Copies of this chain bind each other. A is one copy, B any other.
């Protein structure tokens, strides 16, 4: 985006383009999984944390905040004790999540192929053959 003319054409390939930033959030380790979970329906904070195995409260809170700021996730607060916060996808978030879900389904569906590739790669590189 150093070329002013490029400002008019968003490109994730350009470091400073806003689309790079949102792509980084959407496809971040936890962002993608949060969006994919929310694709199945809205979640409260701890339910979402239980759904996405391995994410810490800190990383989840941070991720949801970024996604909310990007306009992909909606955060609705009820002033109850204990607090009750519900996360759901905005229309744009739903569109992004649908694309992510397709990618995820593909990778899950072809995991056998990936495993075979990894085994072959590790065999070929065990003796530093390269």
Chain A interface (Cβ < 8 Å from any Cβ of B): 10-15, 17-20, 22-24, 26-29, 32-33, 36-37, 51-54, 68-72, 92, 95-96, 99-100, 102-104, 106-111, 113-118, 120-122
Assess the B103–A96 pair: CB atoms within 8 A.
yes
- Beta-carbon contact of B54 and A23 below 8 Å: no
Q: Are A113 and B52 in contact (CB under 8 A)?
A: no
A52 to chain B, nearest CB (A): 6
Which residues of chain B have C-beta atoms less than 8 A from A53's C-beta?
A: 13-15
Give the complex CA separation of A11 and B103 in angstroms: 12
Question: By the criterion CB–CB under 8 Å, are B27 and A111 in contact?
Answer: no
Q: What would be 14 A-B contacts, judged by CB atoms less than 8 Å apart? A: A12-B36, A14-B53, A19-B107, A19-B114, A20-B54, A22-B114, A26-B103, A26-B107, A27-B28, A27-B103, A72-B117, A96-B103, A99-B103, A100-B103
